[in-house]
């Protein structure tokens, strides 16, 4: 199976669904990762023009650590993601047409910040756009893939419909998160927040809900034609 996970910022997938991605990889599936925004405004001291490339490299390191097939970077500045931007939509369509995924994971439409919500809509629209012949024609077409929405930060406002047991994957998930040094180190030293512990706690909470030690939570998109009778989460 081919899995495409699309996050907004370079660490969003590690926060919400990397345990699931690791589980896919362990069973032999091909996992592709994509971040739309470059994370350039995610630090108080490092300037955007330096931070963006640093965060992309951190995302590359995390993807390599878990064994992802490829990571795509659409390189949009933070707070500037616009799902109605046709040029950006075409780039997302190209990613989807290149991967030809059997399933896509992305942000929930009601996530806590504008960039995340815009990415959710971008992926929804582009996944249908990838089924159209006369756009990015050199890559052919692919049917709209079933779509799953990953958990929100701290699970606020998110009502799960499905869970994935990531008990065996939790330590590697957190190692992948630690690859995002510009974020994790700053939060520990200056904000006094141990963010990997925060993510571990959220995974434990979802695990308590689903009777395992650690879990990740998802909602399924039920809009036609993205409905499947198969279980597509690992």
**Cα 121 to chain center, whole Å?**
13
pLDDT greater than 90 at residue 214: yes
* Residue 185 confidence (pLDDT): 87
Residue 231 lies in a domain: no
Residue 93 lies in a domain: yes
- Other Cβ atoms less than 10 A from the Cβ of 146: the count is 21
Residue 151 lies in a domain: yes
**What pTM value is reported for the model?**
0.96
In CATH, what number is assigned to the domain containing residue 113? Answer: 3.40.50.10320
Averaged pLDDT score across all residues of the chain: 96
* Residue 44 confidence (pLDDT): 86
Residue 33 lies in a domain: yes
- Beta strands 103-106 and 215-220 are unpaired
* Residue 234 confidence (pLDDT): 97
Reported as a single tens digit per residue, the pLDDT across 110-150 is: 999 999 999 999 999 999 999 999 999 999 999 999 999 99
Asked if 216 and 20 count as a contact pair (C-beta separation under 8 A), the reply is yes
Phi, psi at 90, each rounded to 5°: -65, -35
Among residues 47, 113, 33, the alpha carbon closest in space to that of 79 is found at 113
Residue 194 lies in a domain: yes
* Residue 189 confidence (pLDDT): 85
Containing structural domain, residue 53: 2-220
Residue 233 lies in a domain: no
Residue 154 lies in a domain: yes
Reported as a single tens digit per residue, the pLDDT across 166-204 is: 999 999 999 999 999 999 988 888 778 899 999 999 999
Residue 173 lies in a domain: yes
* Residue 187 confidence (pLDDT): 85
- Other Cβ atoms less than 10 A from the Cβ of 56: the count is 18
Number of domains in the chain: 1
Asked if 55 and 10 count as a contact pair (C-beta separation under 8 A), the reply is yes
* Residue 11 confidence (pLDDT): 96
What mean pLDDT do residues 67-78 have?
97
Reported as a single tens digit per residue, the pLDDT across 20-70 is: 999 999 999 999 999 999 999 988 899 999 999 999 999 999 999 999 999
* Residue 186 confidence (pLDDT): 84
Measured distance CA(133)–CA(138) in Å, rounded: 9
């Amino acid at each position: 199976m081919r899995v495409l996970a699309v996050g907004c910022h370079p660490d969003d997938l590690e926060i919400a669904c990397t345990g699931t991605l690791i589980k896919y990889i362990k069973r032999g599936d091909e996992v592709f990762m994509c971040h739309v925004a470059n994370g350039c405004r995610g630090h108080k001291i490092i300037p955007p023009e330096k931070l963006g490339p640093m965060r992309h490299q951190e995302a590359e390191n995390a993807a390599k650590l878990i064994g992802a097939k490829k990571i795509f970077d659409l390189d949009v500045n933070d707070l500037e993601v616009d799902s109605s931007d046709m040029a950006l939509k075409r780039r997302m369509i190209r990613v989807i047409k290149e991967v030809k995924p059997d399933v896509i994971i992305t942000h929930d439409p009601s996530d806590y910040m504008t960039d995340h919500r815009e990415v959710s809509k971008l992926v929804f629209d582009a996944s249908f756009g990838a089924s159209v012949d006369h756009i990015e024609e050199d890559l052919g077409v692919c049917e709209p893939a079933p779509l799953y929405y990953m958990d929100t930060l701290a699970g606020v406002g998110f009502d799960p419909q499905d869970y994935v047991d990531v008990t065996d994957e939790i330590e590697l998930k957190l190692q992948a998160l630690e690859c995002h040094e510009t974020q994790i180190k700053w939060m520990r030293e200056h904000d006094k927040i141990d963010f990997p512990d925060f993510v571990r706690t959220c995974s434990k909470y979802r695990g308590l809900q689903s009777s395992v030690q650690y879990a990740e939570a998802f909602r399924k998109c039920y809009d036609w034609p993205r409905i499947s009778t198969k279980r597509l989460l690992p």
